[in-house]
Amino acid sequence: MSQPLHLRGVVLPQGEPRELWIADGTIHTEPVPGAQTICTEGWIMSGLVDAHCHIGLGIEGAVSVETARAQAVADRNAGVLLIRDAGSPSDTHWIDDEAGLPRIVRAGQHIAAPRRYLRNLGVEVPPEQLADQVEIEARRGDGWVKLVGDWIDRSAGDIEPLWPADIAAQAIARAHQVGARVTAHCFAEQSVQELVRAGIDGIEHGTGLDDDTIALMAEAEVALVPTLININNFPQYAEPAKQKFPNYFAHMEDLYRRRRQTVGKAREAGVGIYAGTDAGTVIKHGRVPDEIIELAKVGGAEFALGAASWRSREWLGAPSTLDDGDWADLVVYAADPRVELEVVRHPSLIVLRGQLVDPNLG
């Protein structure tokens, strides 16, 4: 049994000075005998969340265990202690047995239509098999399923949905029957409109959201994980297609230009918005601080911090307020991140499952 720990500091989001004790992997609000004081001043909050991340995934598909571990360590060292893995071809359940790695909520493997997505990333099925595959991925995951909602259709020269709306609705209903929630990659307008009306639980990216769909999302409590640091790459993604697929290029440029306005409208309407990086292929792991800073450009520092910590944790069903009996998963900053947001790049302490993290151990 490890030595209990003691911290004193300002706890967010309440913003009140508190003392916390840690023993047996949980938070205690009364003194624990023999506790080692590791913090006497600082700003303390529940561990960060990457709500759209891909552990075990690389550009070519599944990666080795060693690479997957390095991905998880990079996220952890940035203060990310809870990950919603939004699709991976690797079985990462071994991570659950490694106390020094973040907790993971999995979504199974991406589900895509044949030859309509990136190779080696998803399982490909025709529309008539979508509902059955959703059930399979629901049982592989931890309560989530990930659909590829749209992608470039080279025959059309632009982004098009992968699934007929009625087929998607049936698949979402099947997931709900087995106790899973469904989210989907959506860049363009049609897919997100159809999937929200089909009863989906979450939208990834969501750059094509319009006012009516945003209102429906807010009413139905459909979550949005915009992955702004990924959207920032839209011009780079589209540039190689400029000559061959000019409509696609122009579309991606337009979605990119209005990205902050789109997310801002969703925030104003009351849509739940959470921080995710899309790390795993183009985006490197450990970049949640960058996503927090991008989200702050939309809604301010406290909104961005909540999207990457307490609100995101609550949405995923994890303890979020560092109360008695909660998981002892927390980060400490030397300055108030609500005022000096850049401090999120440099956590002064990380505690995961009640253990002080040494980032040098890997």
pLDDT at 28: 98
pLDDT at 361: 60
d(CA 76, CA 53): 12
Query: What is the 8-class DSSP label of residue 289?
Result: H
- In the chain, CATH 3.20.20.140 covers 48-315
d(CA 310, CA 103): 15
Which H helix or E strand runs over 296? helix 288-299
Show the low-confidence residues of the chain (pLDDT under 50): none
Say how many C-beta atoms besides its own lie within 10 A of residue 324's C-beta.
11
CATH code linked to domain 5-45+320-356:
2.30.40.10
Q: What residues contact 256, with CB distance under 8 A and at least 6 apart?
A: 207, 231, 232, 234, 235
pLDDT at 358: 79
Q: Is 272 helix (H, G, I), strand (E, B) or coil?
A: coil
- In the chain, CATH 2.30.40.10 covers 5-45+320-356
CATH class for domain 48-315?
alpha beta
How many CA atoms lie less than 13 Å away from 287 in the CB half-sphere? 21
d(CA 152, CA 154): 6
pLDDT at 334: 97
